[in-house]
Structure 1
């Protein structure tokens, strides 16, 4: 499957899509037909039946009609792949028979990322699709706010607008609801419309939330109880820390040697080597060693580089929270290469990590969001010499 083949199957507005050809192009879609759903929320039947209806609803929607060619590509494949992980996440209660697919959105984004990466879909389009899939159901209930953090709907809208196009997320949510048989469909569609209206009122429907400065933005999005509209005074500053992120053999060491020469480097891989540990063995000891080294640099407010894979958002959050607790100024640099390049480079490295291990790591692959640090830079593919940066709102 190639990006060019995918482009040819994107339906024009109001036209029928070719599901048979799409399944031939993406065989994983065939698994959806054998995957059941909770009949309360999906009386239309299996996941493929639902997906077929969702794509049809998307193609016939007003947002799709007014979208550009690239935007249609994003909307089309977000609709097609939004439930791609349901086969692997389906659980059926042995007592009640109730069907659930917990975590299918987050896992679906990873599955879609791997698929689109291998197809050569441009980074920006791929990540827009994956970001939609990750939170594609959020507009169903976003007006209730974030129950975990206690933040209101406005906060969710502000944060999401810095990560993706909210009008696209709304289009996806509408198509997802239109493409099902559900007794409460109209009420949910009304909630989605209210979400859209609130996003427009906040100036976030088609652009990111505007902040007075980067520090205020970072503090607000990290959960500080401050106004997003007025500068937040910074009482102290800490180390300038460059955090590297990317798969093994993606070029992190090379980037550091050229762009941060002479700076101390904190690396769990280096810690593992210094402790004489093999890759994947006693990671706790290696991490403890690296964190101790970083802590000393942070206390002295010295600049340094944190260099490791940090593929999952959970692992990044642990590291970034640690650095932000010391008031560090963090620049997050994400590097990515084609799969073939990574395996070729890894074969040429002196490492105990095999290519099979890298393939296993793909299922934890979550590209950093632009809200994870004050500065997030994306460097994509080995011949790219210019950084792809998220524009400041």
Structure 2
């Protein structure tokens, strides 16, 4: 298996064309890309053919771009890796619709998840890994953002939100390479829209940095749909301070809570299972109700507490966050992770009904929290390293 250090040796110099030896190294590092060679694409948008052909064209366009040459080594590694993996999930999302058209719905979001697992196993630095995954997850957004979204959000909202997820300079560079690295009739029009996306981001002051807000609470309310202006602070009547834990089982959440939040009440699904005499996977509805009732009690009393659960997916976190924020809580999400071997060894030693095979199956739901989800986001790793993601 390739390591992150091995992969960095694959990052091409500016202007260097992709040759057979280089692309062979990509396949060795990410074997799932072999399937891209036989994954078709809609000829209306990809007359060049299969996903692998498109991927190579995209990387060639990226590395010959003048902006790629001006990037730092870390930025080049980030955007290059995102380019190689930006369509990695098309293999698993290809569908033929009723009109006989090839579709790959959700390939960006699924691609971010697939890339996360691969880069985690490689040992990529966590914040750089997530920068790559976020680029993959939103790589098509600059194609359409200037026209607003189907959900009703205008271009300003989309640009502001995206700036909290990615460096928009890198995102626009990836989107431009993605469009130039294909054969389609509307390429010129989409390239114009990408350029307008760049200009709007610059006008908003968020082309290379997150859009500034009056404070973090105003930003959180804005991203959750409140009609507020970024520059004017929203009044916040403080409630409880909640630490929302997030991470795979055996990532070290209990240990972290004992070391960093000692003395605070803890709401835990594991504790709820124990109280109810249930094993993992049994009557999860009753377990959830037990934990939520405990959380509501602390929220009503404005008592600081820890919500200790896996909270792996966006949907799982949203339920807990919605509840906490409805009571006016200030929420910090703390994400813990450890290497695969560490997780499996720890889990095998624990007194738990969760098998290692079940733990690994949970990887396919591993959507790492975003800085737009809570008032603060912190990352902790198995070796004790800590990174606080500050975007306000």
Assess same fold via TM > 0.5: yes
TM-superposed CA distance for 1:289, in Å, is 1.0
Residue of structure 2 equivalent to 1:115: 118
Residue of structure 1 equivalent to 2:89: 85
C-alpha distance after superposition, 1:187-240 (max 9, x if no partner): 000001000110011100001111122222221222110111112222x22111
Residue of structure 1 equivalent to 2:193: 191
Residue segments in structure 1 that go unaligned for 5+ positions in a row: none
Match of 2:40 among 36, 41, 51: 36
Residue of structure 2 equivalent to 1:182: 184
Write the distance in 2 (CA, Å) between the matches of 1:202 and 1:350. Answer: 52
C-alpha distance after superposition, 1:250-299 (max 9, x if no partner): 11000111111121111112111211111122211111111111111111
- Pair 1:73-2:77 in alignment: yes
Write the distance in 1 (CA, Å) between the matches of 2:299 and 2:93. Answer: 41
When normalised by structure 2's length, the TM-score is: 0.97
Secondary structure of residue in 2 paired with 1:192: helix
Write the distance in 1 (CA, Å) between the matches of 2:162 and 2:360. Answer: 30
C-alpha distance after superposition, 1:321-341 (max 9, x if no partner): 111011111111111111111
Residue of structure 1 equivalent to 2:234: 232
Secondary structure of residue in 1 paired with 2:165: coil
TM-superposed CA distance for 1:392, in Å, is 4.4
Aligned counterparts, 1:1-393, within 5 A: 1-17=2-18, 18-93=22-97, 95-148=98-151, 150-234=152-236, 236-380=237-381, 382-385=382-385, 387-393=386-392
Write the distance in 1 (CA, Å) between the matches of 2:370 and 2:331. Answer: 14
Secondary structure of residue in 2 paired with 1:162: helix
Write the distance in 1 (CA, Å) between the matches of 2:361 and 2:215. Answer: 39
Secondary structure of residue in 1 paired with 2:380: strand
C-alpha distance after superposition, 1:150-181 (max 9, x if no partner): 22111111111122101111011101100110
Write the distance in 1 (CA, Å) between the matches of 2:304 and 2:31. Answer: 48
TM-superposed CA distance for 1:318, in Å, is 1.4
TM-superposed CA distance for 1:97, in Å, is 2.2
TM-superposed CA distance for 1:6, in Å, is 0.6
Secondary structure of residue in 2 paired with 1:108: helix
C-alpha distance after superposition, 1:106-140 (max 9, x if no partner): 11000000000101111121111100000100111
Write the distance in 1 (CA, Å) between the matches of 2:195 and 2:156. Answer: 15
Write the distance in 2 (CA, Å) between the matches of 1:271 and 1:63. Answer: 53
When normalised by structure 1's length, the TM-score is: 0.96
Write the distance in 2 (CA, Å) between the matches of 1:264 and 1:213. Answer: 28
Write the distance in 2 (CA, Å) between the matches of 1:343 and 1:64. Answer: 39
Runs of 4+ in 1 over 2 A off after TM superposition: none
TM-superposed CA distance for 1:147, in Å, is 2.6
The number of aligned residues is 388
